[in-house]
């Protein structure tokens, strides 16, 4: 009887297994994201997700523990697709003046808000309109690390030192209109339809002008 070949390096075997696991995990997140975006968290069962992903229920439990764990992973991935740490680092560390970099950031957010592609927009819109107990994952894992880049940029424009709570208010003032468009684009009304039909450059220019004016006003008030 021929002896089986056992010369395959263990490290290579582990790498192949890990890759298979990552593929399965990605497939589950994609299927869950589509269903959560279309139906909402409450109406989406683990069985439906497993069926759409082509896996068994045990795979969901293995990779995410529970349906709650899967939803948190979907929320985090949805926010990464809205804006990633790498994109923020590239924009905020670019050589252009701070005001120009802020425009680049607003332009990126508006382009994602006005895009009709991808389940991430629907998942985030649902969560913003009706926050669940899982919203904290966005703050802990996604928004907090990203805020440091945004805060640094706003600090350059206003002169407000990092760590000052007023930078949080500035970030909300700059980001809120983008969030409104992001959510509003998923709710067809005469007003939102009119907004979504505006030329993107005009909208970006408008929001950037308001943002800069507001930030400069805050800086003057603080200095005075």
Q: What is the pLDDT of residues 82-112, one digit of tens each?
A: 899 999 999 999 999 999 999 999 999 998 8
Residue 77: which of 118, 21, 42 has the closest Cα?
118
Q: What are phi and psi of 187, to 5 degrees?
A: -125, 95
At 11, the pLDDT band (50, 70, 90 cuts) reads very low
Do 176 and 209 lie in one domain? The reply is: yes
Do 86 and 56 lie in one domain? The reply is: no
CATH code of the domain containing 37 = 1.10.10.60
Q: How far is CA 149 from CA 11, 27, 44, 90, in A?
A: 37, 31, 35, 10
Do 96 and 199 lie in one domain? The reply is: yes
3-class secondary structure per residue, 92-105: HCCCCCHHHHHHHH
Do 152 and 55 lie in one domain? The reply is: no
CATH code of the domain containing 142 = 1.10.357.10
168 membership: H or E segment, kind and range: helix 166-184
The pLDDT value recorded for residue 13 is: 41
Do 32 and 126 lie in one domain? The reply is: no
User: Is residue 28 one of the residues assigned to a domain?
Assistant: yes
38 touches 49 (CB < 8 A)? no
The pLDDT value recorded for residue 10 is: 42
CA dihedral 74, 72, 162, 172 (to 10 degrees): 70
Do 30 and 140 lie in one domain? The reply is: no
Do 34 and 100 lie in one domain? The reply is: no
Contacts of 135 by beta carbon, 8 Å cutoff, 6+ apart: 75, 127
Residue 188 has pLDDT above 80, yes or no: no
Do 90 and 125 lie in one domain? The reply is: yes
Give pLDDT tens digits for 122-165.
898 888 878 888 888 778 888 888 999 999 999 999 999 999 99
193 touches 183 (CB < 8 A)? no
CA dihedral 88, 89, 94, 96 (to 10 degrees): 40
What total of structural domains would you count in the chain? 2
Structural domain for 126, as ranges: 81-223
Do 49 and 156 lie in one domain? The reply is: no
CA dist., res. 11 & res. 31, Å (int): 30
28 touches 63 (CB < 8 A)? yes
User: Is residue 182 one of the residues assigned to a domain?
Assistant: yes
Do 201 and 90 lie in one domain? The reply is: yes
């Amino acid at each position: 009887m021929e002896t089986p070949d056992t010369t395959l390096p263990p490290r290579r075997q582990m790498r192949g297994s890990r890759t298979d696991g990552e593929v399965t995990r990605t497939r589950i997140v994609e299927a869950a994201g589509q269903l959560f975006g279309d139906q909402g968290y409450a109406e989406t069962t683990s069985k439906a997700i497993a069926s759409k992903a082509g896996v068994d229920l045990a795979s969901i439990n293995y990779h995410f523990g529970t349906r709650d764990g899967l939803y948190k992973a979907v929320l985090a991935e949805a926010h990464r697709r809205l804006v990633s740490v790498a994109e923020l680092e590239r924009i905020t560390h670019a050589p252009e003046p701070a005001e120009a970099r802020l425009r680049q950031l607003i332009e990126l957010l508006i382009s994602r808000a006005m895009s009709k592609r991808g389940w991430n927009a629907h998942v985030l819109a649902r969560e913003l309109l009706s926050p669940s107990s899982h919203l904290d994952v966005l703050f802990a894992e996604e928004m907090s690390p990203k805020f440091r880049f945004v805060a640094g940029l706003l600090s350059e424009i206003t002169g407000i030192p990092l760590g000052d709570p007023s930078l949080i208010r500035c970030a909300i003032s700059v980001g809120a209109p983008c969030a409104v468009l992001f959510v509003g684009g998923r709710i067809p009304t005469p007003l939102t339809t009119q907004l979504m039909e505006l030329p993107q450059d005009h909208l970006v220019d408008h929001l950037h002008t308001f943002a800069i004016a507001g930030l400069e006003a805050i800086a003057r008030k603080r200095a005075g």
